[in-house]
Amino acid sequence: MFQFLHLLRRRSQQRVIVAIVTLILFITLITVHYRNPEYSEILGDHVTYYHGKVKEYTSDKLSGLYSSAFDSSSSNSLEAKLEIIDMLDKPALKQELSPVEQTREEFIAERHQGYSNLFTKMITEPKGLQLTKIGDSPDQPYELANATFVSLVRNSELRAVISTITQIESTFNNKYHYPYVFLNDETFSDQFKEKILKLLPNSKVEFGVINREDWNKPSNIDLAKEEEGVKALEDAGVGYSAMLSYHNMCRYYSGGFYKHELMQKYRYYWRVEPGVKYFCDIEYDLFKFMHDNNKVYGFVIALYDSPESVKSLWPTTVEFLKQNPEYIHVNSAHAWLRENLQNPSNYERAHGYSTCHFWSNFEIADMDFYRQPAYSSWMEHLEKAGGFYYERWGDAPVHSVGVGLFADKKDIHWFRDIGYFHPPYYNAPLREKGKCLKMPAPGTFAGGGLKDQDCLYNWVNMAMGEDDHY
């Protein structure tokens, strides 16, 4: 009897142990699945930063400073531009504002509260701006904007890209039938093409192969320097840093895709990323919105990048501007690019750039902006510097620094009405009942622990256009 009880106890102990081990395995799997190594690297850095009191500044002071000091410079003179450029490699904000004692946690919590508050209001559609919808004038044929969807994608991502397209079609394009361009560094398989064509019977669909010389690492890259750079990035835990194709992809989305022969005939593009989610109906024509309101760039999410990946992007850019001061826009979002309050160590490690960027896996933009001399000669300068390979310059920070310096900030638009998810981040608006599929609570940015990576609130405070009302 005693022996039997003993056995029973051992059995149940074993069961408890098995249950705990299973649970740990499960949690590990989920965490690994949803975590990009990059974020943990950044979080790792924050752990040291969280200790102790830091001097920070309140956000209302921030917005006050910028609206008064710089927005008034409507003069387009070279002098005004030189004055701005002169500031770009000087230490930002800390010297310019009076300090407020706040822990980093308090500061981030305040920021995040500000972000969440933006989402408590019911979001409809942009107000005070031109909106066009199909069916507005039923007696006239609807004229599409000069625009296309574009997806750089691998054959192996067929299922994930079908998932994205299905959502784009059902929330938007089944009313408009805008065309699609698919680009690949390899030939698209017959299966890929067949499946996509079947999915899009009403849109013009084109498949393009990227020329080797446009995709591959250019010959000016010093291989020893590249190897050294990649090693440093790996040591810093920067995601995908040892993956050559990832560097190629970032470079191609930065300065290549809009030159592809299939893209030449279009002005606006909407990037289609495999495996993302579009939750809500989009009832107006986003492409026409861009055109009719003179928008250059539209986004949904803004976040910080891994500073090691863009260590020299800012100094290289400032160097370019010193040689070509005419390209900076006097009403540009330069102050936002130099924000150094929320993640000051990013700003330091990226030598003057906050690393805040529009997340480019969703973007709608004007390719003629990229094709103009400001962006395109800057891109040549970046190519010479080689940071796409010596570091891991992403197309997102490159687009953001480009539009953030060469465009008028009022021509950059946050599409807050678009419900969107690319792991692990959301744009989750509060919309009328029935307009969205099941989605996390309004104002959700990410699962726990990543709030400090959100910099959209800084965009709203420091750069968002006056007419950007919903």
Ligand X SMILES: *[C@@H]1O[C@H](CO)[C@@H](O)[C@H](O)[C@H]1NC(C)=O
Ligand Y SMILES: Nc1nc2c(ncn2[C@@H]2O[C@H](COP(=O)(O)OP(=O)(O)OP(=O)(O)O)[C@@H](O)[C@H]2O)c(=O)[nH]1
Given the rule CB under 6 A, which residues bind ligand X? 146, 265-267, 368
Question: Which pair of structure tokens corresponds to residue 115?
Answer: 């972000």
**Residue of 274, 387, 402, 419 that binds ligand Y (CB under 6 A):** 274
Among ligand Y, ligand X, none, the one that 361 touches (CB under a kind-dependent 5 to 8 A) is ligand Y
Alpha-carbon gap, residue 25 to 76, rounded angstroms? 60
Taking residues 335 to 374 in sequence order and writing x for each that binds ligand Y by CB under 6 A, - otherwise, the string is: --------------------------x-------------
Q: DSSP class of residue 170?
A: I
Distances (CA, A) of 230 to 62, 83, 306, 389: 37, 36, 14, 8
Query: How many Cβ atoms are within 10 Å of 263's Cβ, its own excluded?
Result: 19
Q: How far is the CB of 398 from ligand X (least distance, A)?
A: 21
Burial of 48 (C-beta count, 10 Å sphere; 0-12/13-18/19+): exposed
Residue of minimal CB distance from ligand Y? 245
Of 433, 396, 322, nearest in space to 82 by CA: 322
Query: How many Cβ atoms are within 10 Å of 148's Cβ, its own excluded?
Result: 25
Q: How far is the CB of 265 from ligand X (least distance, A)?
A: 6
Nearer to ligand Y, 418 or 460 (CB): 418
Rule CB under 6 A: is residue 397 a binding residue for ligand Y? no
363: annotated active-site residue: yes
Asked if the peptide bond before residue 424 counts as cis, ω within 30 degrees of 0, the response is yes
Among ligand Y, ligand X, none, the one that 368 touches (CB under a kind-dependent 5 to 8 A) is ligand X
Among ligand Y, ligand X, none, the one that 344 touches (CB under a kind-dependent 5 to 8 A) is none
| 3-state secondary structure (DSSP) of residue 154 | coil
Of 176, 183, 180, nearest in space to 145 by CA: 176
Taking residues 132 to 151 in sequence order and writing x for each that binds ligand Y by CB under 6 A, - otherwise, the string is: -------------------x
Rule CB under 6 A: is residue 305 a binding residue for ligand Y? no
Taking residues 49 to 68 in sequence order and writing x for each that binds ligand Y by CB under 6 A, - otherwise, the string is: --------------------
Nearer to ligand Y, 271 or 435 (CB): 271
H or E segment and range at residue 206: strand 205-209
Q: Angle 14-17-20 (CA atoms, 0-180°, nearest 5)? A: 150
Q: Is the dihedral of CA 197, 200, 203, 207 positive or negative?
A: negative
**Residue of 153, 282, 300, 328 that binds ligand Y (CB under 6 A):** 153
Nearer to ligand Y, 361 or 427 (CB): 361
Q: How far is the CB of 245 from ligand X (least distance, A)?
A: 29
Nearer to ligand Y, 274 or 386 (CB): 274
Write out the binding residues for ligand Y, residues 163-202 only, by CB under 6 A.
184-185
Among ligand Y, ligand X, none, the one that 323 touches (CB under a kind-dependent 5 to 8 A) is none
Nearer to ligand X, 180 or 390 (CB): 180
Nearer to ligand X, 265 or 322 (CB): 265
- Residue of 363, 380, 383, 391 marked active site: 363
Nearer to ligand X, 247 or 267 (CB): 267
Side-chain-facing half-sphere of 233: CA atoms under 13 Å: 30
Of 299, 226, 220, 214, nearest in space to 252 by CA: 214
Whether the CB-CB separation of 56 and 93 falls below 8 Å is answered with no
Alpha-carbon gap, residue 378 to 381, rounded angstroms? 5
Q: How far is the CB of 363 from ligand X (least distance, A)?
A: 17
Rule CB under 6 A: is residue 84 a binding residue for ligand Y? no
Binding site for ligand Y (CB under 6 A): 36, 151-154, 157, 184-185, 245-246, 249, 273-274, 361
Q: What residues are annotated to the active site?
A: 363
